[in-house]
Amino acid sequence: MGHPYQYLIPLLSLFWVRVDLTDLWRLNISVHIIDIRDGDTLTASSGHRTFKVRLSKIDAPELDQPFHGSRKNAGIASRDCLRRMTPEKAVLSVEGFDVYHRILGDVEGLNLRAVEEGCTGLYPHAHFSSVREKSIYLRALSSARKKRRGVWAFKGYLLPKKWRRLSKPNAHQRSH
C-alpha cells in the first residue's frame, strides 16, 4: 500500500488549480422547487438551504422581453411554460456554478423538455457532454420551431443578451 500523501497531494492539487469537483463527479440533490423565476432560473431548497438554480444549456427570454414585432411578452410566456412542466419535488443534477454563483444544472431532464415544448431556446455557449447530446438538443429546438410550439408560436425573440444590450444600452456603464 502506498503512502497517504501519494493520494492526498493529487487530490489537493485540484483545489490549487481551482478545478470544480462537479467536473469530476456529478452531484445529485433531492430538492423542493419553490419558485420558477423565469424560463431558465428557479429557486429550490434542500434541507434548510434555499438557492437559485440556473438551468444549463438553455436561454430563455427576459421577463420583460417582447416577441419580435409584438407587445406580447416572450419572457412571461417562457416562464409560464416552464411552470407547467416543473415538478414540485425532484432531483437536481449539479453541473457547476455560473458567473453569478448560482448552481448550474438540470432538474430531471427538465432542460431538454423545456426545449422540446418550446419554452426556451438554447444558450449560445452551452457545454454539452458529447456531440450526441448537442445533436439531441438541436433536433428538439428545430422540431419545436417547426411545429410552432410554445414561444415559437409567435415570431420568435432576440437572443436575451442582444435584447438586453439594445433595450438597456447604458445599463452596463458605471455612473460617475
What is residue 96's three-state secondary structure?
Answer: strand
Helix (H) or strand (E) holding 138: helix 131-146
- Distance, first Cα to last Cα, the chain: 63
| Rg of the chain taking only CA atoms, in angstroms | 19
- Asked if residue 75 lies in contact with residue 61, where contact means CB atoms within 8 angstroms, the answer is yes
User: Is residue 86 a part of any domain in this protein?
Assistant: yes
CATH (domain of 80): 2.40.50.90
Q: Which domain range does residue 45 map to?
A: 20-153
User: Is residue 7 a part of any domain in this protein?
Assistant: no
Domains of the chain: total = 1
User: Is residue 78 a part of any domain in this protein?
Assistant: yes
Per-residue pLDDT 10s for the chain (176 aa) are 566 656 666 655 555 555 555 555 678 999 999 999 999 999 999 999 999 999 999 999 999 998 988 888 999 999 999 999 999 999 999 998 888 889 999 999 999 999 999 999 999 999 999 999 999 999 999 999 999 999 999 878 888 888 888 887 665 554 44
- Asked if residue 33 lies in contact with residue 103, where contact means CB atoms within 8 angstroms, the answer is no
